[in-house]
Amino acid sequence: MNELVENNVEYYKFLSVIHEISKKSHIIAIQKDSIRKVYQNYDSKLYRLKLEKEIAELDKLLVK
**Concatenated DSSP letters of 1-60:** -HHHHHHHHHHHHHHHHHHHHHHHHHHHHHHHHHHHHHHHHHHHHHHHHHHHHHHHHHHH
Q: What is the mean pLDDT of the chain?
A: 78
- Is the pLDDT confidence value at 58 over 90? yes
Q: What is the pLDDT of residue 31?
A: 76
Mean per-residue pLDDT, 28-37 = 77
pLDDT band at 7 (very low <50, low <70, confident <90, very high): low
In the predicted structure, residue 55 carries a pLDDT above the cut 90? yes
- Taking the C-alpha atoms of 11, 16, 20 and 26 in order, what is their torsion angle to the nearest 10 degrees? 80
| Rounded Cα gap, residues 52 and 5, in angstroms | 70
The pLDDT value recorded for residue 53 is 92
pLDDT at 14: 80
